[in-house]
Amino acid sequence: MMKKKWIAGALSLSLLSSMPYAVTAEAPQKQWTHVNAYEEADGSPFNSEHYNFVKYSKIGGMLQKIDRESKRVTLEETGKSADGYPMYVVTISNPEDKGKYGHYKKLRKQMFKNPQKAQDWIAQNPDFKVPVMINGSIHGTEYIGSDAVLQLIDRFANDDDAETREILKNNILIFNVVANPDGRVDGTRFNGNGIDLNRDFITQSQEETKQTVDLITEWNPMVFLDLHGYVNSSDGKPGLIEPCTPPHNPNYEYDLFSKWALDQAEAMEAEIVGNKANYESDHYKSMTGTYIPQRDDSAGWDDYPPIFTPMYAMYHGAYGYTLEAPTNSWDGVRWANDAVMGALKFTTQNKQGMLTDQIEIFKRGINFDHPYHEEGFFPNAYVLPVNEKDPTVTEKAVNHLLENDISVEKSVKSFSANGKTYPAGTYIVDMSQAKAGLANTMLWDGEDITNDTPAMYDISAWSLPELWGFEAIEVKEELQAKTAPVKESDYAGSLNGKGPYVISNSSVQAVKLVNDLVRAGESIYKGKDGNFYVKTLAATNKSLVQQSGITLEEAVLPVEKEKLTTLQVAILKDGGMNKAQSHSGTKLALERLGFSVTEVTPKEVAENGLRQFDAFLFSGTDALLQYERLSVGNKPFAVGSKEAYDRFKVNVHAFIENGGKYISVGAGGAKATSQLGLTSVKINTGSANSNGIVKVNYSEDEVTAGYKASDIGFVYRPVWFTELGDAKAVATLAAGDFFVAGHWKGNEQASGQAVIVEDAEKDVTLIGIEAGFRDHTDYLFRLLSNALYQ
């Protein structure tokens, strides 16, 4: 019976997906944006299997039809993707519960105010409902996630069997239907800005990420299931279900998560294997289990960084899981469907104990009682001082904390901490709060875990104070300060005096203001000190200063100065080598700095040269210069042929010889620069999965203006330079133990070595540290603007 029902759901979706749009969207009650089917990719060449997945252009109509026909369903458009496609959220519950969502959300918020009262209430009221959130296809080419979501929506909207009724009696289901619409439309892993959304959750640079964060903070789901693909094997255990291998982030209350996580994973596994007769492929019919990293392995699939969606959700108390289907096929969809059903059955059976322990996380935070942490691991508070002239970095940090459900206060009088006095208006994060783990993972310095595990899956350090450039001072003593709660941090910029004015080279926002004013026709000068100067401002442009949040002080114009002009900046485009756009982080950084950036592909550089540009950046994989042994997936993005490579090389050399500025970023850029014969320095690289925060010594130079002599940097696939010859080192890794936090085996060989060098004769700069990594390294973005303006 169950098999027949499941197949019927799959058939109905297949039929709907093949119908013309007019058939599936009869008289819609709301205005929705749809993409034309002919604009959509049929799949990805990086997938080894292909099937007739549901196109994004059909999904809106399908959801509207279900919404009209089912009293259980609430359909919302909760945001737009980077490319402007709607983001659909479907909430399903019993009809009598639909009008009570506000009430249920208030009950969930009560967990943060009086967790003991909330625990007592659920002990006495067993008929409560828990929210479960299912996230579909955050990686666009992992099509099975959203297809499984659509089938689950169809079932829970329409079916009336005992199992469906029991699940809806105990749960509210929240489906983020297509977490990455751009990727599904374009056939890419990333979104329209080239960002991997499943690496964006600590910084939340993308609108899609913010939408998911809003859903998590709105509902505080008890369980979070993130549907992915593809992890396959031939040992009878295809697919993957978390929990993860060590190392586990110490900011979790991991004992409470572990109490239930493996049992729930095995319940998902049992549901999949129990239904194996219903699959089409022998590979699935012969399943004996699935790969559960925590049970089946010792390292290699960790939950350490809070960049992944489920790991981020865990800081909000969720039991978070990544589910990796084995194949890109309807059997893969069935596998994901079965896994979710196993999770829902387990949640229904164990909701009282699971919710009690979720609330216990918040109770520990509020009571500052962390029994499985060493005493002193969590500080009593963090103090966030404000730079009165340029408060923009701290303002961004405070708003980021608030958007993530972290309480922030502001002192109304001066106070003392750690023997220092701070003025009124200083921000304070009291660590006696429900989501103390999330607050600490955002604000702590991190740790060196090099010796804790052989390798990491992704980044191992992300300290927002270090990498965004604001102070977060740990206070271990009891803090005595009169404070008021903060709802938003919003500073207006201003002009002190009649001019001339100085714009200190102090933040991303400061550089953006400079570029905005140049674009608006103002005469802006750069001094030898790296700061920017303006004689006076037109009345119409003063609003730009106000919007920036920066206070401009009167200053004397320096004698030696250079007038800035609007730069024509090009960056080499990685269209998607190995499923990633390796240049996208640097492009994002340049845009945040206020530069207008043009992407040019390797083939375009080979054909057209770079004559119309002032500066050219190579920030991405050196594989873009390959022309042999290219996979089908990579071939469209590389230079492609020996003839094209030769023309590319000639055109880049000609660009530099005619006064163009060339900047490389990271290991890939450095290796490409050497391959092109633009530098003779020796390029040295660490292992591909090494990364972290490092101590850097910055020399006095235009490229390093605004940085302290002893400061920080960030490395990812580290690179450093030796045998410099006539090249000038303007930044080196500190001598001795320079590694602050992260994972980098063998880092001692890079101690004291150069990480930023300038050619003695050509306008060629090699930046080895990650000046534009995702949206993590705001503090280092100005290395790019300095290099462009030098």
pLDDT tens, 673-685?
A: 999 999 999 999 9
pLDDT of residue 153: 98
**Rounded Cα distance, 43 and 550, in Å:** 47
Would you state the torsion angle of the CA atoms of residues 580, 581, 586, 589, taken in this order, to the nearest 10 degrees?
Answer: -90
Is the Cβ–Cβ distance between 195 and 139 less than 8 Å? no
**Rounded Cα distance, 85 and 572, in Å:** 26
Where does the pLDDT of residue 751 fall: very low under 50, low under 70, confident under 90, or very high at 90 and above? very high
Is the Cβ–Cβ distance between 774 and 200 less than 8 Å? yes
Q: Residues 51-58: what's their mean pLDDT?
A: 97
Q: Does the annotation mark 324 as catalytic? A: yes
SS3 at position 771: coil
pLDDT of residue 35: 61
Residue 489: is its pLDDT beyond 80? Answer: yes
pLDDT of residue 103: 78
**Rounded Cα distance, 220 and 130, in Å:** 9
**Rounded Cα distance, 273 and 284, in Å:** 9
Residues 6+ apart with CB under 8 A from 767: 663, 664, 665, 666, 669, 703, 755, 756, 783, 784, 787
Residue 558: is its pLDDT beyond 80? Answer: yes
Residue 27: is its pLDDT beyond 70? Answer: no
pLDDT of residue 29: 37
Where does the pLDDT of residue 460 fall: very low under 50, low under 70, confident under 90, or very high at 90 and above? very high
pLDDT of residue 102: 83
Is the Cβ–Cβ distance between 339 and 323 less than 8 Å? yes
Q: Which DSSP helix (H) or strand (E) runs through 784?
A: helix 782-789
pLDDT of residue 38: 53
User: What's the chain's average pLDDT?
Assistant: 94
Q: How many helices (H) and strands (E) does the chain have?
A: 24, 32
pLDDT tens, 358-369?
A: 999 999 999 999
pLDDT tens, 379-390?
A: 999 999 999 999
- The domain segmentation of the chain, as residue ranges, is 2-367, 381-485, 494-563, 569-789
Helices 144-158 and 2-18 pack at an angle, to 10 degrees, of 110
Starting from the edge strand earliest in sequence, which strands make up the sheet with 427-430, in order?
Answer: 473-475, 381-384, 427-430, 409-411, 483-485
Does the CA dihedral 534-540-541-544 come out positive or negative? Answer: positive
**Rounded Cα distance, 219 and 237, in Å:** 34
Where does the pLDDT of residue 583 fall: very low under 50, low under 70, confident under 90, or very high at 90 and above? very high
Let me know if the fold of 2-367 is the same as that of 494-563. Answer: no
Fold classification of 2-367 (topology level): Aminopeptidase (3.40.630)
pLDDT of residue 697: 98
Range 494-563 classified under CATH 1.10.40: no
Where does the pLDDT of residue 660 fall: very low under 50, low under 70, confident under 90, or very high at 90 and above? very high
Q: What percent of the chain stands above pLDDT 70?
A: 95
pLDDT of residue 66: 98
The correct CATH number of 569-789 out of 3.30.70.1230, 3.40.50.880, 3.40.50.300, 3.40.1190.20 is 3.40.50.880
pLDDT tens, 70-91?
A: 999 999 999 999 999 999 999 9
Which residue among 324, 466, 474, 758 is the active-site one? 324
Does the CA dihedral 24-27-28-32 come out positive or negative? Answer: positive
The encoded tokens of residue 598 equal: 């043009």
Where does the pLDDT of residue 16 fall: very low under 50, low under 70, confident under 90, or very high at 90 and above? very low
DSSP state of 767: E
Q: For the whole model, what pTM was predicted?
A: 0.94
Is the Cβ–Cβ distance between 514 and 567 less than 8 Å? no
